[in-house]
Amino acid sequence: MLKKIGIIGGGYIGGVLVQEVVRRRLARVVAVTDPAPFVNPNDPQDKQDVTRKQSVAKGKALDILAGNPLVSSDVRIEAGRDYDILAGCEMVINTAGVPRKARPDGTFPSREELLSINLKVTVQVADAIAKFCKDAMVLSIANPLDAIVYTLYKKLNPPKNKIVGMAGVLDSTRYRYFVAEAAGVSVDNVEALVLGGHGDDMVPVRSCCRIAGMPVEKFLSKDKLDAIETRTRKAGGEVVGLLGFGSAFVSPAFSALEMAEAMIFDRKKILASCALLQGEYGINNLFVGVPVMLGAGGVEKVIEVDLNDAEKAALAKSVEGVKKTCAEVDTMLK
């Protein structure tokens, strides 16, 4: 159990995170900070005064705390609009920023199209971490995932083991679920790995997919697996299209919690995560999704998977996309 964990952004993902931190007793105190509802300077003063007194973070906190007796939890919540409640956090999970949302015509933006708005948010978040909990382990979820983690790294310059992004666990769990469903087996029996950037070019690695230790091809045809891998790459968009109001929030929160628990309880779990590569996979100074060992030291090890030529080429293509978005970050930060 940590003494204190911070959740930055108390929206859909942030809300599930706070609820689960309380229920799983991951820290004695959870701090959740969110500026919403945003005060509109064009509103009449009395309306601005009302809005300023409201707080999504405080509202969610009270709602969750009121349920504490039903889950036997004495975890405390500190909540508010300001960042100072992050003081003393040993770990922060960043969810601040806008999600993808379906347009009236049913189309929706790519994660990369969120960059310009979410970069501004991320700069504020980085300043807050630097000011109030500079030694905290940083686990980031906001999109475009790889570029936002890169931005936090550029702004905070932490040791590379202390910053990691959540996407590979989510992409891999989607792959696992679709395989389990198609094969008619328990999700517990399916192991899967998705590498690369958290975009539509991510790389589900079929050679690493196993059902009860056996190659997945023993259970599912090539055509079925092709379709599952295509669906996995676009699974985030499938949810955006169905929800209408935003993007997936339960499975992303659970994926981040899987990573957080591995670190909090020093489990040495190998999980696909967005980590800084310095030569591994022939990639330098970029954050990309690869298997890493997560323990009390954060990202304790990067593991290099043996890939076949097609998988190597697919990873190279995905990394090109990450590189392009990070180049945009470099330009915008100037």
Q: Which residues are catalytic?
A: 198
Pick the stretch among 120-128, 198-206, 277-285, 314-322 that binds ligand APR (CB under 6 A). Answer: 120-128
193: three-class secondary structure by DSSP: coil
247 binds ligand APR (CB under 6 A): yes
Work out which of 5, 22, 79, 96 binds ligand APR, going by CB under 6 A. Answer: 96
| Contact between residue 206 and residue 305 where contact means Cβ atoms under 8 Å apart | no
Work out which of 6, 196, 204, 252 binds ligand APR, going by CB under 6 A. Answer: 252
| Contact between residue 6 and residue 96 where contact means Cβ atoms under 8 Å apart | no
173 binds ligand APR (CB under 6 A): no
14 binds ligand APR (CB under 6 A): yes
Tally Cβ neighbours within 10 Å of residue 14.
25
125 binds ligand APR (CB under 6 A): yes
Pick the stretch among 2-10, 221-229, 310-318, 322-330 that binds ligand APR (CB under 6 A). Answer: 2-10
By beta-carbon distance, which residue lies closest to ligand APR? 11
Pick the stretch among 114-122, 172-180, 199-207, 292-300 that binds ligand APR (CB under 6 A). Answer: 114-122
Written as six digits, the tokens of 217 are 């091809």
The full DSSP string for 144-188 is SHHHHHHHHHHHH---GGGEEE--HHHHHHHHHHHHHHHHT--GG
Under 8 Å CB-to-CB from 44, ≥6 apart: which residues? none
Sign of CA dihedral 132, 246, 203, 207: positive
| C-beta of 114 vs 272, nearer to ligand APR | 114
| C-beta of 141 vs 209, nearer to ligand APR | 141
Work out which of 2, 93, 136, 141 binds ligand APR, going by CB under 6 A. Answer: 141
